[in-house]
Structure formats: C-alpha cells, structure tokens
Structure 1
Amino acid sequence: MAAITESVDSGVGEGIENRLVKPEESDQVKKLNPEAKEFIPCYKKKINNQSLSSGDFAITKKHSGGEEFNKQDGRRRNGYNQGRKVRLSGRGSKAQREDSIRRTVYVSDIDQSVTEEVLAGLFSSYGQVVDCRICGDPNSVLRFAFVEFYDDQGARAALSVGGTIIGYHPVRVLPSKTAILPVNPTFLPRSEDERDKCTRTIYCTNVDKNATEDDVRIFFESACGEVTRIRLLGDQLHSTRIAFVEFAIADSAVAALNCSGVVLGSQPIRVSPSKTPVRSRFTRSPFTN
C-alpha cells in the first residue's frame, strides 16, 4: 500500500504537507516560502569564467589558477511559471516522485544574503528551473537549498556549479535525495516563532506503521541531536506513517536530511525540510501506539 499522502481530519492532521495537489488547488501552492514573493529566474548567461551580479551581490566562478572574472549578466525569461505548474500537479505517484528527485539538486553552504531569485537565476544557466527552495536558519551564516529542473539533464549539468562563490562562500552541489514538496498554505507558519520552528523541523514519510514516537525520537536523537517535539500520524489501516520532528537547533534538522534512505523499523524513511511547524497544542498524536 502506498505511503500516507493526504491530511487526516482537522482535529488530528493540522500541519500535514499535502502531497496530492488538485488542479483547483495548484494556484494556492505557488509561494515557496511564506515571506518571499514568487521569483522569476533572471539570468541567462553561462557562469563559467564569469561573475553574475545584482546590485551589490556578486557570484564568482574561480579557476584552478585562482583567477576571478567579473561580468554583468542579463535577465532571463524562461517560462518558469508554466513549467512549475505542470510539475506540481503530477507529484502523486511514486514514479513521478522519483522523477522529481532525479531533476533536483541539493545546494549547501549558501550565504545568508542569497535569495531564491538569485539562486534560481544562477542555476537557470544550466536548464529551466521549475522550483527553488532555500531552507535553514535565516540567522545562520550558511544555509542550504533544493533546486528542481524541468529535466534531469539540467540537474546533471548543474552539478558543475559546485565551487562557485556566491556572495562570500563557494557552494557545494550534489544530487538530491528528496524532492521539493508542495504545501497546503493553510498550514504555513502564522508567526515569527512558528517560522523559527520550521527551520528546526523535518517532515518524514514512509515510517514503519509499527513505529512509536519513542522509536522515532531515539532514532533521530542518536543520529542528529536533541528532539523537542514529535507528531506521528497514521493508523494500522495504512502501510506506513508520517512524522513531523522538531529539533532543538536548526543544525540538527539539516543533519536529519542525510537520514533519507536509512531504515527505521522495517522501512527506509524519506526526510524533507518541513514548511509547517508542529503545533504546540498537539503534544502527542492519538494514533501513537
């Protein structure tokens, strides 16, 4: 039986990221981040041997000899919105999810001044960017992101961006282990405190149906750090369960992303950054064994 993908009733499932996006709901999930306007990728030239700049922001590709090149780049108009709508509406099946993962790269060591627009603009030089999400503690010096392309060819080409200096730091680019997930805007953070909690929270799917909150807590605390709150959802009628895990610090949530594919109980779990907090009024799930 497929993993749980839909919200349970409102008394139990508040905060669940809805993975099945109906056509009529697609317009509601456009914003990648509750504080950011939807971006349009704005650069079109290759960054090899170049530096892209926007105002005071600079992107530099270093050569083996240590030389740096700085040139202004123009704007890119590449049909971003149309590509993104197509992809968001097709995330339901396992095959489509795996395809989405192949088209996504994981970018780390991102300067805190970098916006989703700038990052997508950089990667649009390698293929059509259909989605981009910067994650991590906004107060941290470095953050991470997921960038999804229209096809896997763009994702493969984007791996060469590794080592590019964006702002003050060279970024690392790797194939992603997870896809970018749409989110029901009803469950987005409602306050600064909840936004902070989101940076410390992960969304875990394909959890063994026999796992308890204690099992999940012990698993993540042994691998990543202190867990402050857990929401475990599901029942014995479904083959797997889902969990929201909130950590004491954002670095632990980042470390937890590396647990994708690790077996918890009898199932390899999938871990993604959460765009929704664990609501404080739900301290334990009534479905917990």
Structure 2
Amino acid sequence: MAAVVDNSGEAVEAAKNNDLEVETTKSESKEFNVQNLVDMFTKLNPLAKEFFPSYFHHNQTKKSDNFNQVPVKQSAGNENFSNKRGRNNVNQGRRRLNGRAFRAQRDDSIRRTVYVSDIDQTITEEQLAGLFSNCGQVVDCRVCGDPHSVLRFAFVEFADEQGARAALSLDGTMLGFYPVRVLPSKTAILPVNPTFLPRSENEREMCTRTVYCTNIDKKVSQTEMKSFFESTCGEVSRLRLLGDQVHSTRIAFVEFAMAESAIIALNCSGLVLGTQAIRVSPSKTPVRPRVTRPTLR
C-alpha cells in the first residue's frame, strides 16, 4: 500500500516537473518571438512605400522619375506647341510695350499742343502758325471747322512743352477781327500718313496747287465736280474723288494748273454742290498719278 502511495507521489512530482518545463518552454518561446519581432522591425525601412498612402507614393514616384530620368527630347508636336506659346508670350510682351510706347508718345504730344478757338474766318493756318512762332518751334497747325464761321478752332503743336506753355500767354490776342482763346489741349493732332506727304520739291509745289475737299454729296460725280471747280476757279489738272460705303459723304483732292486757282478754290467752302455744302481747305498731300500695272498676256 505504501509502495503505491510512493509511486503516486512520484507521479505527481513528475507531473509538476513536466508542467514547469512546459511553462518554461512557453516563456522562452514568447521571448524568442518578441525578439524576432524586434529584429524584424529594426530591419524595416521607414521610407519604404508600405508606410505611405498610395496617392502619396504615386506622386512621389512621378517626381522622382522626372528627377532621375534623363531628359527626353520633345516630340515635334510638343516642341511646336511650346515654341508657339513662347512666340505668343513674346508677341504679347511686344504688344504691351508698343501700347505703352504709343500712350507715352501720345501723352507727350498732348503736353506739347494747345487748343485755339474763336479764329477769324480770314485767318489761314500759316498766319496762325506765325502768331505762335515766337513761342517756340511750331511742328504742326490744324485749323478745323467751317471756314466761313467764327467758331473755327485749331490745334497747334510745338517741338517741346516750353513752347506750349509760352503759347498760353497769347490768350486774348487779337488775330483778325476777334481775340483768340488759347487753352491746353486734351487731344493730340492725328499725324498725316508719312507715305502721303510730299517727297520732293516737285511734290511740294503740287501741294500749293491742291485743295482738300470734304462733305461731298455721294450723288455728285467726278465730272460734275471738275466742272464746278473749273467754272469758278480755273483749270483742274487732276482730281481724285474718294469714298466708301460706311461714310455718308465723300472727299476729294483737286489739283489745279495754277496755284492762284487753288487759293480761289478756298473761297468755295460753304457752297452747295448737290445737296451738301462742301468744305475746302489747303491740302498737305499731293495727288500722285495712279500707277498702272502692265496686263499679263
């Protein structure tokens, strides 16, 4: 009976030893697994793509690819497109510069110009320019309005601002039968197309024999207009009648055979031709003969 008890005690002791070994093995296994995890984590790269969202990795890949890759020559289409954009930018820059230059030039011209009103109908542009010649060099002088009205006005442009400032002191000066009013101008004189200006002494002489006629009735023909001036002023050597579909009236350049005839023609301003009262002023441009092109056979 005692032997049986002893054996049972040994069995219990053996069972305890086995449980201890199992617990030891489990604890060692746990320690082993944790150490393995530590080792694994220490070997991981924190910059690896697994640690970043997919969209971030996608963008970074594009940037890195663009950075690391060797530049590839653009295709012909892309190259033309980029060149076109470059040319457009250059053209826009030039247009902006040209616009600023034009405005600066216009503003400078306005500062050098005075506005003159209440001009006597007997006063010519040459006489008006002579009045202001003592103030400075007169670059241009334009008399506007009906030549038979005292409401005529003019713009006088000087070579510098000092001349324009000095011209203001002539306000109230008697010129003809009326005192003229002189004020700073708010507009610049529209320049004449330089290609139309006289190029030689011969063309300057042609200008003295030429008048500029405006407000011409569209129904008036070139033959009727020539007959009108020849019956009143003298022989007409050349006449250029111009017009378009936009304006309700036409204009003309009339060149006479004699300079005296052109002076007489200035007195025709205000006379009715057709249904309109024409306006006549000295011409700054000659009437050049038309260039006939040879016909191809």
Q: State the TM-score, normalizing by the size of structure 2.
A: 0.43
Name whichever structure is richer in helix by fraction: 2
Larger Rg: 2
Q: State the TM-score, normalizing by the size of structure 1.
A: 0.44
Which structure exhibits the higher relative contact order, with contacts defined as CA atoms closer than 8 Å and separated by 6 or more residues? Answer: 1
Name whichever structure is richer in strand by fraction: 1
